[in-house]
Homo-oligomer: A and B are copies of this chain.
Amino acid sequence: MISEAMTGLGKKRSTIREIFEYGNQRAKIVGRENIFDFSLGNPSVAPPDCVTDVINSFVAEERAEVLHGYTSATGLEWVRQAMADSLNSRFGTKFNKDSFYMTVGAAASLCIVLKALACPGDEFIVPAPYFPEYKCWIENTVNCKCVLIPAEPSDFQINFTEFERSLSKNTKAVIINSPNNPSGAVYSEDTIKKLAALLEEASKKYGHPIYLISDEPYREIVFDGIKLPFVTKYYRNTFICYSFSKSLSLPGERIGYVLVPDEMDDCKDVYAAVCGAGRILGYVNAPSLFQRVAGKCADKTADISIYNKNRDILYDGLIKAGYSCVKPQGAFYMFPKALEEDEVAFCERAKKYDLLLVPGRDFGCPGHVRIAYCVQTETIERALPVFEKIAAEYRR
């Protein structure tokens, strides 16, 4: 007599969470230092000082009933303006406050955009590898069809042959995630240009806009001096779904935004739909103290160089040990090939050494395993001999 779908979703924890919980249990037996837990994307680097400074100064100086009071549903004006200013100065865009809707994190941003867009019969395209919750939200939050595109494992850009084939009159939007969880790939300017051209063409062909939903929680975490192409500059019907969880290392506080750019077709109506969706999903306003933190720290990040160092040590070590892997250029994930076709069996073997990895099939890409290297550098250094030992087993 209750919703079976919801009971099912509540009972089936994600594989990532299962592995993480297993790690916690094992840690109690063999000691935390003997577990090599690469399961969870929980930032290991401390938030930048500005986070604590901003909390302290607002708590000291603002009247508490104002500081913790309701804000407008769209967010505080000055905070939204700060979001615009930060993007404009870094990406050469020309946004203003009225294009931003502050949210309770990236998951909220995505659910709100899906809900704002979805009509019965709509299809949403998701290129693999992808964050597993996308499929869950498309199918359950808005009851639409999730069309998955197989991965392009040579570089983890987009498999455009498959992509073109998947476009149809029912396509409402495409969700991309660059820098990518789980591959760490950053979509090149070429990829974004090609994607934009195909969407432009298909929008014309089918007589309605096909939206691009750019999920960018890792936008600030890029290496090797890469310049990330800012997607709205290439395709006007783009939503940016952002979260400060990873850049400021505060995933528990749930703060992010949806950006509906001025250039978007019918942008006022679309923005209103975003407001309506936020309202009916039960979001009254984004947390008020952390709106202020986001507003004051929008240009800051945690010390990304630590993730860069982790990547270098892990990547070099894996290659040396005989693993094959596309070198990640962002986020804090690596996505090597398993040493046998069945990556679940590979993960089980690793588990015997208390090395915890996530099978690629959860991300729509079997044969690979995800390593979340947002851990202490020392954990990586101590795990590398284990990776070597497993590789040696496979060579036997």
Identify the closest chain B residue to A71 (Cβ). Answer: B252
In the complex, A55 Cα to B6 Cα: how many Å? 34
Q: In angstroms, how far is the closest chain B Cβ from the Cβ of A40?
A: 8
Q: Does A87 contact B (CB under 8 A)?
A: no
Q: Is the CB of B107 within 8 A of A7?
A: no
Q: Does A322 contact B (CB under 8 A)?
A: no
Q: In angstroms, how far is the closest chain B Cβ from the Cβ of A264?
A: 10
Known contacts: A6-B273, A141-B282, A289-B253. The answer to whether A42 contacts B70 by CB under 8 A is yes
Q: Does A118 contact B (CB under 8 A)?
A: yes
In the complex, A6 Cα to B260 Cα: how many Å? 15
Q: Does A59 contact B (CB under 8 A)?
A: yes
Number of copies: 2
Known contacts: A2-B269, A107-B284. The answer to whether A251 contacts B68 by CB under 8 A is yes
Q: Is the CB of A280 within 8 A of B119?
A: no
Number of contact residues on A: which range applies? Answer: 35 or more
Chain B residues contacting A282 (CB-CB under 8 Å) are 104-105, 107-108, 110-112, 137, 141, 281
Q: In angstroms, how far is the closest chain B Cβ from the Cβ of A270?
A: 6
Chain B residues contacting A8 (CB-CB under 8 Å) are 276
Q: Is the CB of A254 within 8 A of B287?
A: yes
Q: Is the CB of B44 within 8 A of A65?
A: yes
**Listed stretches A45-53, A154-162, A382-390; interface member:** A45-53
Q: Is the CB of B9 within 8 A of A279?
A: yes
Q: Is the CB of A283 within 8 A of B3?
A: no
Q: Restricting to A280-302, which residues have a CB under 8 Å from any CB of B?
A: 280-290
Q: Does A183 contact B (CB under 8 A)?
A: no
Q: Does A227 contact B (CB under 8 A)?
A: no
Q: Restricting to A228-271, which residues have a CB under 8 Å from any CB of B?
A: 249-254, 266, 269-271
Q: Is the CB of B10 within 8 A of A272?
A: yes
Most chain B C-beta atoms within 10 Å of own C-beta, residue among A9, A42, A286, A287: A287
Q: In angstroms, how far is the closest chain B Cβ from the Cβ of A39?
A: 12
Q: In angstroms, how far is the closest chain B Cβ from the Cβ of A379?
A: 15
In the complex, A118 Cα to B11 Cα: how many Å? 17
Q: Does A88 contact B (CB under 8 A)?
A: no
Interface 1/0s, chain A 45-86, versus B by CB < 8 A? 111000110011001000111011111000000000000000
Q: Does A304 contact B (CB under 8 A)?
A: no
With A10-B274, A141-B282 given, name 12 new contacts (CB 8 A).
A3-B115, A3-B273, A5-B276, A8-B276, A10-B275, A43-B65, A46-B63, A105-B284, A111-B282, A252-B287, A253-B287, A287-B290
Closest 6 A/B residue pairs (Cβ): A252-B288, A9-B276, A111-B282, A10-B276, A10-B275, A10-B272
CB pairs A–B below 8 angstroms (14 shown): A1-B119, A1-B172, A2-B116, A3-B115, A6-B115, A6-B280, A9-B277, A9-B280, A51-B64, A56-B59, A64-B249, A141-B280, A252-B289, A254-B286
